[in-house]
Structure 1
């Protein structure tokens, strides 16, 4: 049976609640008590003494080879997908090459953060302590083309996780000033737009808010015309979708006849089991008007976060529910 998934915004949620999701309350209190110059975890505020228009682009001398490598890695990093050519050029100029030996700490959870990193070579482990007194948990391994450290710059909060070089590694760092003026607005708008969707997906309920923000970066947009098939019954599934605009129906073909079995509207989602099961699609999804969807494939999910079944196992009852479907 196909179940309809409805996503709705909560009128009771506030910016403060969203930010507190990113840090446990104790961390938030400590940040406010101990960091008088950074008493808010909201976005940077620009005013009389902090004018955005006063920004002077930073330029770090680098070889043509380094520029080529940065361009390649930025094309792979979801964080920079919304930038135009001029903005990309400014960011490339500002980036610095940083080298790390195996075992080096790149960032530590709880520290202040003034740069983000894009991985060029090597692998880096990501660890996080979810509750004080508990051992840290290994979340994932960062690979070339991925970025990390942006959360501290987006929300002006301490580092949300620890990153340690697993092998010798080379990263390109980007400073807070350039990030705030060039990258931040585009990245924040995209994340705010999609993070609410992701927080309502039952399959992803046990994800850390930081993990959901990473997934929001990875979402892609696709348009369909009326009568287009978004997915087809029987094909292998590896992608799940959110409807951003338009209406769809689910149909099933039985004995040569295609019958409507369900309908979907803006805010609904479908195909999420593709993240955990690589099984043929159980039905068709057909656009009933011009439709815009945002989607995520299972390969991108694994590259960013790891296997979704490991996330589900944080809540075994939910895991058992999905594996039995």
Structure 2
């Protein structure tokens, strides 16, 4: 779980230095890394791959890196009431949920009862912040039944996952900076969003957004063209209302409000987008409203 926002920002200010010291220091050179291989069947590997593809933490990996991570992952089974991570302790593993659910609790002040924050579902990952920032666990996560987890060790995370995340961050930070909706964000915030965004490819005539569906994903067009259509009268064909090109974005209200989509967005050519899911945004940075309030005059309409 994410620590307090300002605390996380302070940790991130020195993260490049601390990461370099831990991963590529004098006694831990890249060449010294020996991949961990835990034998498993192809069926189990396929199951792990499917789960990793659901988590934004791993979507910067190339095929070879994905194989290394899959080989390194170990299985952990838990029963109801088991604390997987405990707030304040040192963390050396990242977890991906395969089966079951786990509840996350955080104590915000000494003497207070822990507060329930969320429930982790299959496909979700947790425990990454302790590895990214060499920080104590920011919350306690407890099995609320029998669970099956995939566990990744600190070394593999540092040498493979963190490296891939850094490349992805470098690739997309400048792009995010060019998006007007996100222009008030600082470097740290854009860095965190770069970790969370996912790349997707759509073929011509394929729907990216469908009118009337509940919106939970925000899209930024990286390459190609798309068109928006909208139905103005029941029973009549939707009409074109807008065209999109590389650098444009759509679905932004999904980050603010859980509302039905106001129009269709359809690929006009083969295109690539990066997408950001509403819950991932809130988990990393909190409500978008607070960020937009920094440049209220520009985005007042989004807050209505």
TM-score relative to the length of structure 2:
0.66
Structure 1 residues 122 and 263: CA distance shift in structure 2, 3 A? closer
Q: Which of 195, 198, 212 does residue 219 from structure 1 map onto?
A: 198
Q: Which of 119, 122, 126 does residue 97 from structure 2 map onto?
A: 119
Structure 1 residues 63 and 250: CA distance shift in structure 2, 3 A? closer
Whether 2:33 is the aligned partner of 1:48: answer no
Tell me the equivalent position of 1:78: 56
Question: Quick check: 1:97–1:173 contact (8 Å CA) kept in 2?
Answer: yes
Question: Quick check: 1:231–1:285 contact (8 Å CA) kept in 2?
Answer: yes
User: How many residues are paired up?
Assistant: 280
Give the SS at the match of 1:23.
helix
Q: Which of 278, 298, 319 does residue 259 from structure 2 map onto?
A: 278
Tell me the C-alpha RMSD between the 2 structures.
Answer: 4.9
Whether 2:171 is the aligned partner of 1:171: answer no
Q: Structure 1 regions of 5+ residues with no counterpart? A: 1-18, 33-37
Structure 1 residues 200 and 194: CA distance shift in structure 2, 3 A? farther
Give the SS at the match of 2:24.
coil
**Separation in 2, partners of 1:201, 1:130:** 31
Give the SS at the match of 2:37.
coil
State the Cα distance separating 1:174 from its structure 2 match: 0.9
Structure 1 residues 169 and 191: CA distance shift in structure 2, 3 A? farther
**Separation in 2, partners of 1:174, 1:165:** 18
Question: Quick check: 1:237–1:281 contact (8 Å CA) kept in 2?
Answer: no
Question: Quick check: 2:95–2:126 contact (8 Å CA) kept in 1?
Answer: yes
Question: Quick check: 1:251–1:286 contact (8 Å CA) kept in 2?
Answer: no
**Separation in 2, partners of 1:162, 1:139:** 10
Report matched runs for 1:118-197 at 5 Å: 118-129=96-107, 136-191=114-169, 197=176
State the Cα distance separating 1:240 from its structure 2 match: 2.1
Report matched runs for 1:216-255 at 5 Å: 216-222=195-201, 236=213, 238=215, 239-244=217-222
Structure 1 residues 151 and 190: CA distance shift in structure 2, 3 A? farther
